[in-house]
Amino acid sequence: MLEIHLIRSNFEAAVSGLQKRGIPQAEPLLQKVLDTDQQRRDLQLKLDKTLEEGNIKSKQIGMLMQEGRKDEAQSLKTETSTLKLQSKGLQDELQDLISKLKSQLYDIPNIPHIQVPAGTEETDNQVTEEWGTKPQLTDNANSPHWDLIKKYDIIDFDLGSKITGAGFPIYKGAGAKLQRALISFFLDEAEQAGYHEIQPPIVINEDSGLATGQLPDKEGQMYGIVDSNFYLIPTAEVPITNIYRDSMLRAQDLPVKMVGYTPCFRREAGSWGADVRGLNRLHQFDKVEIVQIQTPENSYVALQEMCDHVKALLQKLELPYRILNLCGGDLGFTSAQTFDFEVFAGAQQKWLEVSSVSNFETYQSNRLKLRYKKDGKSVLLHTLNGSALALPRIVAALLENNQTPKGIKLPPVLVPYTGFEQITNK
């Protein structure tokens, strides 16, 4: 949720920022919010005056009663009764206005950072970096990963369908070990980079969903739990960031750097076709997520630092990757700037997104009420998060790029974790 005072004091910048996302009617949209806000403030003033009057009279009644002047107290009582009715009405009106203002604000996405390129097409995304060379696969070892997992019997989609449904694979043997190895590797790397390890619940309540923005609009993305008002998390970002909901930090607590591994659950309603084959898109997948809470001054340095961390992971895994600075139109609703990381999968001949690193500035912390004390004043903090990394597409690229006629060679960095160098037929 945008901060209302930012729109108030920086109207032009807000308008042009939203236009960068391809929202042509940005100005009337923001003007409408300002109008609602003005109404709210007028009403607040009126209500406070009425309450003040009532409070003064109530105190007088108390004093009169103590002095035994009952008649005078009685006549004041009738006055306070009418004041009470008035303030009750005003209060209801104010509540309505506040909800209206909130829902108007919920409809407005974050304002993109100055360095976000304008545009609405995927082609408007800026490739800021490309690393590694695309693998040259030979004719006798050029299978997409969905064939490889069957050949070596390491991931079983059919069996997963039996237990749950499509998109819930079962990892077996070397496949299961590879999952465990990647998770441990990612967690260890994050810990070395100064992130504090967290193991959060993977089920969240409504308040948490609201605070990080999955609710109220995107419940379609999450699996709900029947008769509990709980949801399965779509990403560890939700429980981990919510640790700091309703918090006032001290300067010396900052920055907060946390990492957590969780399974993630996404409905992915409405997506199908070639893009979602095999491991490319799942309903349940594993991900290690890094989260930072930063002062506004440092948040963009931190964003860069998080990108460097992800780069290092991919380099150690020897996977060719590229980084995209997402354009306004491709930017997530709550993000001010996002860098997407894609690895190249050799057999599919496709770039697959494996990480998304974002700075939300105060968009999340405003709903979270996450602040810190700076020179005696409370200041909203900036929140950032990124995948480091999501497993399935990493596995897809590892399998495809490292295949040989005899087996799949793992990058050396994983060998201490897996205990084997190659995936072969038993």
Residue ranges binding RNA (CB under 7 A): 37, 40-41, 44-45, 47-49, 51-52, 54-59, 61-62, 65-66, 77, 80-81, 84, 248, 371, 373, 378
Question: 319, 374 in Cβ contact below 8 A?
Answer: no
Closest by alpha carbon to 291, among 333, 240, 361, 235? Answer: 240
Asked if 262 contacts 236 with a C-beta cutoff of 8 angstroms, the reply is yes
| Shortest Cβ 193–RNA spacing (Å) | 29
Name the minimum Å distance from CB 147 to RNA. Answer: 38
55 versus 164: smaller Cβ distance to RNA: 55
CB atoms within 10 A of CB 235: 23
Phi-psi region of 342 (alpha: psi -120 to 50; beta: other; left: phi over 0): beta
Nearest to 279 by CA among 425, 406, 147: 147
Query: Least distance to RNA from the beta carbon of 331, Å?
Result: 26
SS3 of residue 96 by DSSP: helix
Please identify, using beta-carbon distances, which residue of 162 and 373 lies nearer to RNA.
Answer: 373
Strand partners, 127: 324
Run of H or E including 324: strand 321-325
Helix (H) / strand (E) element for 282: namely: none
Instruction: Select 45 or 301, whichever has its Cβ closest to RNA.
Output: 45
Q: Give 366 or 401: the residue with its C-beta nearer to RNA.
A: 366
**Least spacing, CB of residue 353 vs RNA, in Å:** 36
Q: How far is CA 94 from CA 54, 257, 358, in A?
A: 18, 39, 35
Least separation, in Å, of the C-beta of 55 and RNA?
4
Comparing CB distances to RNA, the nearer of 54 and 386 is 54
Indicate the SS3 state at residue 25. coil
The enclosing H or E element of 345 equals strand 337-345
Q: How far apart are CA 229 and CA 125, in angstroms?
A: 38
Shortest distance in whole angstroms from residue 61 CB to RNA: 4
Q: Report which of 412, 409, 393 is spatially closest to residue 144, judged by C-alpha positions.
A: 393
Nearest-angstrom CA–CA distance, 50 and 46: 6
Q: Are 307 and 282 in contact (CB under 8 A)?
A: no
Nearest CB to RNA, comparing residues 83 and 190: 83
CB of 422 to RNA, least distance (A): 35
Between residues 139 and 375, which has the closer beta carbon with respect to RNA?
375
Residue 48: DSSP 8-state: H
Q: Please state the closest distance from residue 54 (CB atom) to RNA, in A.
A: 6
**CB of 306 within 8 A of CB of 357?**
yes
Nearer to RNA, 249 or 395 (CB): 249
Alpha-carbon span 138 to 88, nearest angstrom: 77
Cβ nearer to RNA, comparing 212 with 366: 366
CB of 84 to RNA, least distance (A): 5
Q: How many residues does the chain have?
A: 426
Nearer to RNA, 60 or 221 (CB): 60
CB of 60 vs RNA, minimal distance in Å: 8
Q: Measured at the alpha carbon of residue 104, what is the angle toward residues 102 and 108, in degrees to the nearest 5?
A: 110
